Structures are given as structure tokens and as C-alpha cells.
Amino acid sequence: MQGEINGLKALNLKKNECAYYIHCFAHQLQLALVAVAKNHINIASLFHILCNIVNAVGGTCKRHEALREKQAARIIQALENEEITKGRGLNQERTLVRPSDTRWGSHYSTLLSLIQMFGSAIDVLDEIVEDGLHSDQIAEVLHLVKDMQSFEFVFNLHLMKSILEITNDLSLALQRQAMLLVGICKKRIQEMQDGGCSSLLEKVLNFCEKFQIDTLNMNDLYVGERRS
């Protein structure tokens, strides 16, 4: 309940000094996800880039409005081309929100929003480059665009979206004390580990094709980075 009801812990300790305070299961799950992700350099890099994208695209009201307009235009065009369908709750207006370090449900929302607004975000970044007044700002944004249009970024983006989609359901279930879903969540993650790579890779390849991002040949030999 920390943060949800301010001062509740202090009131309990006044009644009973021996009261022991622990995080709820949902928060423990989020803390575990944070610890695991930050220990993996590629995933830590993904969220670092993600924060920079959110800061750049949503840095001003003008950019935020430009993102909203470009996304609305893309949705209208997609509806006209019958690429997406109409319906209640579908195609709602979204925005990019900076993820919180301890609330990984917000990370899932940010990943999902960026995937859906990928093209619009790049359009806004391109406008920042064209209108940029400082060379440092232009160089930083150009580097962001280059990172976004790399196969590694797109793969990690979809990988973490798939994982957090599962753990987000579990987090919501833990908040409702629905413990039976813990086993279901573990099973889904195990299935993803055992045989989900092909479907994930297919999503990534289709996404790269849509936005004209160079893909890797999975049959090539892998050569890791070496120190000079």
C-alpha cells in the first residue's frame, strides 16, 4: 500500500511497533523484473533509448501535438486501406509516456505505444532534425533515428513487449490476489522460451519490412564484438 495510502504504515506502527512491512506480490514481481532487465546490457540499452525517444518526441507541446496529428493521419489512412478495423475500444488516441523504474506496467504501455506509433515518432524526429537549431541536438536525434531503425532495437522492442505482456497480466492478477494465474504465467513464459522464437521473429521481420529496416540473415555466422 506504500504510495497508495500515505501514512498507513506509520499508523500501523503506532498501534504495533512489531509490525513488519513487506512489499505486495505485484510490487515484488516488478522489482524482480527491474533487477533482471538492468543486468542485461541489451535490454538496459533498449529502455535507455526508449526514454530518450520519449523525451525527444514529447519534449514540448508542439512536438506532442505533431505526434498526435501524424498518428491520427496514419490511422485514417490505414482505415481507408482496410489495414485495421473499426470497433469500440480500437484505434484509441495514444501518447508516449516515460516509463517508471518501479512500475513496469508503465514500461509495457510505453513499448506498446511506440510499436503502434513507430512511424509517427520517426516523422516527428525527422522534423526535429530539419528544424534543429543546434548541431548537438541534431546529432542526438539522428543517433536516435539510427538506433530505432536497427534490427537489434526492433527485435528487443518486440521481445520485451511479448514478455511484459505476460507479466503485466500476472501483475494485475496479483493485485487482485488471483494466485492461480502465477502457474499460467510461468507456463506461458516457458512455452515462449521453448518454441516462441519463430513467431516472435516473424513479427519482427514483418515490422522491419513495413518500415524498411534492414534485417539480419539468421543463417550467417555470428561474430561478437571484440576489443581492439
Domain parsing of the chain, residue ranges: 8-210
The pTM of the whole model exceeds 0.75 = no
**Rounded Cα gap, residues 59 and 108, in angstroms:** 21
Q: Is the dihedral of CA 67, 58, 208, 191 positive or negative?
A: negative
**Rounded Cα gap, residues 133 and 130, in angstroms:** 9
At residue 153, the 3 state secondary structure works out as helix
Per-residue pLDDT tens digits for 34-54: 778 778 899 989 989 999 999
User: Which positions ≥6 away from 127 have C-beta within 8 Å?
Assistant: 66
Per-residue pLDDT tens digits for 74-132: 888 887 777 766 655 444 556 777 776 656 667 888 899 899 899 999 999 998 888 87
What is the CB neighbour count within 10 angstroms for residue 202?
10
**Rounded Cα gap, residues 228 and 141, in angstroms:** 28
Confidence of residue 5 (pLDDT cuts 50, 70, 90): low
Residue of 83, 162, 163 whose CA lies nearest to 119: 83
- Which of residues 133 and 165 earns the better pLDDT score? 165
**Rounded Cα gap, residues 50 and 101, in angstroms:** 13
Question: Which pLDDT score, from 0 to 100, does residue 137 have?
Answer: 81
Per-residue pLDDT tens digits for 121-156: 999 999 888 887 678 888 989 999 999 999 999 999
Question: Which pLDDT score, from 0 to 100, does residue 189 have?
Answer: 85
Please, what is the average pLDDT of the chain? Answer: 81
Please compute the mean of the pLDDT values over residues 195-221 and round it to a whole number: 86
Give the helix, strand, coil percentages of the chain, each rounded to 5: 70, 0, 30
Question: Which pLDDT score, from 0 to 100, does residue 123 have?
Answer: 92
